[in-house]
Structure 1
Amino acid sequence: MTPFGDAVRLLRQKKGVSQKQMAAAIGVSPAYLSALEHGKRGAPSFEFLQRVAGYFNVIWDDADELFGIAALSDPKVMLNTSGLPAAHTAFANRLAGRIRTLSGETIRILEDVLEKARFPDKEH
C-alpha cells in the first residue's frame, strides 16, 4: 500500500464509488487503478493526478496535498549515495534491508527524526 493508494481509496469511499466506476470516469482501466491503490505501480503522472483531483472536485490546497502524497508513493524507491560519506551508504543499505520489519511506531520515530533534521531550529 502507498500513501496515494490510501488517499484514493478514502476519496472513493467518501464518494461511494467503486474502482470500476472511477476508472471508467477518468479513462483508465480498473486493473491500473487497483494496482495504484495497492502499491503495485509507481507514482502516477501529473495528468492522472489532475484527472483524479477533477473527478473528486478537490480544491487547490487539497490538490497540492494529494500531489505531494503521490510524490511520496513510489513503492520502488532508489537511493543514490554516491559521493556521500560511507556512513550514509551503510545506513541506506541497513534501512533497505530492514524496512519490511519496522513497526509503525519505529516508522513514526524515524519520521520525527527526519522532520527535526529538515527544520533543525524548530521546536517540536
Structure 2
Amino acid sequence: MTPFGEKVRELRRKKSIALKDMAADLNVSSAYLSALEHGHRGRPSAGFVLQVCGYLGVIWDDAEELKQLAELSHPRVTIDTAGLSPNATLLANRLAQQIKSLDDQTILRLLEELQ
C-alpha cells in the first residue's frame, strides 16, 4: 500500500463511503481505485488528486498532505546513482535488495534519519 492509497482509504472509510460508490462518482473503475489504494497503480495524476480532495471534502493542510503523499507514492522507484559515490550506489542497491525484509521499526528509523 502506498502512503497516498492508505490515506485515501482511511478518509473514505471515515466517511463510510463504499469503494464502488466513490469510484463511480469519480468516473473511474472500482478496480482502478482499489489498485490505487493498494499500491498496485502508479502515482495518480495531479488532476485526480484534486478530484479526490474535492470528493472527500479535504481542504487546506489536509489537501496539501494528500498531494505530497501522492508525489511520494510511486510503487516502483528507480534510483539513478550515476555520478554519485560508490557508497551511494551501494546504499541504493542494498536498500533495493533488502527492503522487503525490513520491519516497520527499522523503516521508520531510516525515514527519520533521512528527513
Segments of 5+ residues of structure 1 without an aligned counterpart are 116-124
Per the alignment, residue 14 of structure 1 pairs with 14
CA distance, structure 2, for counterparts of residue 49 and residue 63 of structure 1: 9
Q: CA deviation at 1:19?
A: 0.9
CA distance, structure 2, for counterparts of residue 112 and residue 91 of structure 1: 16
Task: Give the total of aligned pairs.
Answer: 115
Alignment of 1:102 onto 2:108: no
Structure number, greater radius of gyration? 1
Per the alignment, residue 64 of structure 1 pairs with 64
CA distance, structure 2, for counterparts of residue 35 and residue 108 of structure 1: 24
Within-5 A mapping of 1:1-124: 1-115=1-115
Q: CA deviation at 1:68?
A: 0.4
CA distance, structure 2, for counterparts of residue 7 and residue 29 of structure 1: 19
CA distance, structure 2, for counterparts of residue 21 and residue 41 of structure 1: 19
CA distance, structure 2, for counterparts of residue 27 and residue 99 of structure 1: 35
Q: Deviations over 1:40-83 (max 9, x none)?
A: 00110001001000001111221110000111111101100001
Q: TM-score, normalised by structure 2?
A: 0.97
Segments of 5+ residues of structure 2 without an aligned counterpart are none
Percent identity, aligned pairs only, is: 54
CA distance, structure 2, for counterparts of residue 65 and residue 113 of structure 1: 21
Q: Deviations over 1:69-122 (max 9, x none)?
A: 11111110110000101110011000000000001110111011102xxxxxxx
Q: TM-score, normalised by structure 1?
A: 0.90
Secondary structure, aligned partner of 1:64: helix
CA distance, structure 1, for counterparts of residue 27 and residue 40 of structure 2: 19
